[in-house]
Amino acid sequence: MGIPDFTSEGLLPMSIHNATLADIKEKLCSFGDADKRNKLYNIFIKYLKCLKKHKVKFELYLDGSFVTSKPEPGDIDVLLFYDFEYNNLEWQELIDDRIVRYKFPGLQVLTAFLECESKDYTLDFAHNVKNKPGLRKGLIKVIL
């Protein structure tokens, strides 16, 4: 487990990289604007604690500028795949990107059901690099 070094483009190598919370903090919060990176990480941890309260099966992947060599990332993109049978008002707020951005500034969330084709399509799409056709990047799967 662990997070590999960035490519010459400043991206993770194309793959899904399994990483613990300790791996993420060590690798992604210790360079560039470390204060900003740690602040974003702590907001993510707060969000994760809220998710865990629900005892629902889910998987989390991290994407966006936080998982690049960019010194000052704008936010953390969170891909959340969850059990479609679970639903209540508090959970709905945790999967609504507009509410997440308000309650957890610095996070952006994209959700899909865990056991369906949209998970594969979403992950495949997330490997693309914005405005750079043909360039693919790695993602981090958070191991809890």
Domain boundaries in the chain? Answer: 16-142
* pLDDT tens digits, one per residue of 104-140: 999 999 998 888 888 988 999 999 999 999 999 999 9
Pair of tokens at residue 117: 């084709």
Amino acid at 67: V
Look up residue 42 and give its DSSP letter.
H
Pair of tokens at residue 91: 């959970």
Enclosing H/E stretch for 76: strand 76-82
Q: Answer yes or no: pTM beyond 0.75.
A: yes
CA nearest to 134, candidates 19, 11, 16, 28: 11
Give strand pairing partners of 108. 77
Any idea which fold 16-142 has?
A: Beta Polymerase; domain 2 (3.30.460)
CA nearest to 26, candidates 16, 15, 34: 34
* pLDDT tens digits, one per residue of 16-59: 999 999 999 999 999 999 999 999 999 999 999 999 999 899 99
- H-type helices in 33-127, by residue range? 34-52, 89-95, 97-103, 117-126
